[in-house]
Amino acid sequence: MNSYRQIESTLKEILEVIKPLQEDWVTRFKIIDELREIVRSIESLRGATVEPFGSFVSNLFTRWGDLDISVEVSYGSCISSAGKKQKQTILKELLRALRKKGGWLGIQFIPSARVPILKSVSKWQNISCDISIDNLQGQIKSKFLFWLCEIDGRFRDMVLLVKEWAKANGINNPKTGTFNSYSLTLLVIFHFQTCVPPILPPLKELYPTNVVDDLTGTKVMQRDVLHKYVRLTLPGLDHVGS
């Protein structure tokens, strides 16, 4: 029993260190606001919006976590209207705007990635930012994970601890053949689903149809996917992210 209490006490201490403080939230909102200003300054991106996703939206980020950003363009009515080449062009324009603004370090454009991405580090607490175009899939994944956090707070604590453990042991870098944060989160989900009794339900109870199929169609239809079944499965959470 004493060993159990020692472990529990140690884990709580780790969580106290890695959980974001109010200032960490404020810093990320400042970055998002600055990116919105930059996007508004680009003539070809009139009407575009800046939407955070990833661990920040799912509430699974640590104090030092990266910030994922999707620039939602207004070309046409379908997400598919912004093809890979067009996304690369937009990111090049954004790269020039970031350099002109100043305060953004280590800007790196990765056009050949499966999802073209612009990486940079903000002057605000040196937070790393990954910027992509029309990344609705990332936004949906993030909100699913947020809903799981709302079901049971232990899920968030476990994800943060597992991510920190993986970082400490050098197994949190997909470039070296190890896990990315999303893979580690999926392992935690599986563990929580297979506990006796289970802590989390099967994901099909949260979203009973195929998300990929539902992502076809107009942008309005695609965003409706985020709310399609939430009212039925998680009352009171349908306002999240709206």
Residue of higher predicted confidence among 74 and 120: 120
Domain boundary among 87, 107, 135: 135
C-alpha 15: how far from chain center? 20
pLDDT digits (tens, 9 = 90+) for 153-203: 999 999 999 999 999 999 998 888 999 999 999 999 999 999 999 999 998
Q: Which DSSP helix (H) or strand (E) runs through 133? A: strand 128-133
Last residue of a domain, one of 135, 155, 170: 135
Q: What is the mean pLDDT of residues 69-76?
A: 79
Do 82 and 201 reside in the same domain of the chain? no
Give the mean pLDDT of the chain.
85
83 and 172 both lie in a single domain:
no
- pLDDT for residue 120 is more than 60: yes
Same domain, 125 and 148: no
Same domain, 130 and 146: no
pLDDT given for residue 2 in this prediction: 81
Q: Does 242 reside within a domain? A: no
Per-residue model confidence (pLDDT) at position 113: 85
pLDDT value at residue 114: 86
The range of the structural domain enclosing residue 207 comes to 138-233
Q: Per-residue pLDDT averaged across 53-78, rounded? A: 86
Task: Estimate to the nearest angstrom the gap between the alpha carbon of 129 and the chain centroid.
Answer: 11
110 shares its domain with 131: yes
Q: pTM of this prediction? A: 0.82
Is 116's pLDDT higher than 50? Answer: yes
pLDDT of residue 214 exceeding 80, the answer is no
Asked if pLDDT for residue 231 goes beyond 50, the answer is no
- φ/ψ (deg, to 5) at 88: -65, -40
Helix (H, G, I), strand (E, B) or coil at 45: helix
Q: Which of 108, 135, 162 is the last residue of a domain?
A: 135
Residues 96 and 74 in one domain: yes
Beta bridge partner(s), residue 184: none
Which residue would you say has higher pLDDT here, 240 or 179?
179
Q: What is the pLDDT of residue 83?
A: 83
Distance (Å, whole) CA 103 – CA 121: 9
What is the rounded average pLDDT of the residues 103-125? 92
Distances (CA, A) of 153 to 44, 58, 72, 211, 229: 42, 12, 31, 25, 21
Q: Are residues 9 and 117 in the same domain?
A: yes
Q: Are residues 21 and 79 in the same domain?
A: yes
74 vs 143, residue with greater confidence: 143
pLDDT in tens, 85-97: 999 999 999 999 9
Claim to verify: residue 25 and residue 130 sit in the same structural domain: yes
Please tell me the total count of domains within the chain.
Answer: 2
The pLDDT of residue 108: 95
Q: Are residues 62 and 82 part of one domain?
A: yes
Residues 36-63: tens digit of each pLDDT: 999 999 998 988 999 999 999 999 999 9
User: Is residue 117 domain-shared with residue 205, that is, in the same domain?
Assistant: no
Model pLDDT, residue 227 = 47
Q: What is the CATH number of the domain that holds 72?
A: 3.30.460.10
What integer pLDDT is reported at residue 11 of this predicted model? 94
Sort residue 147 into left (φ over 0), alpha (ψ -120 to 50) or beta: alpha
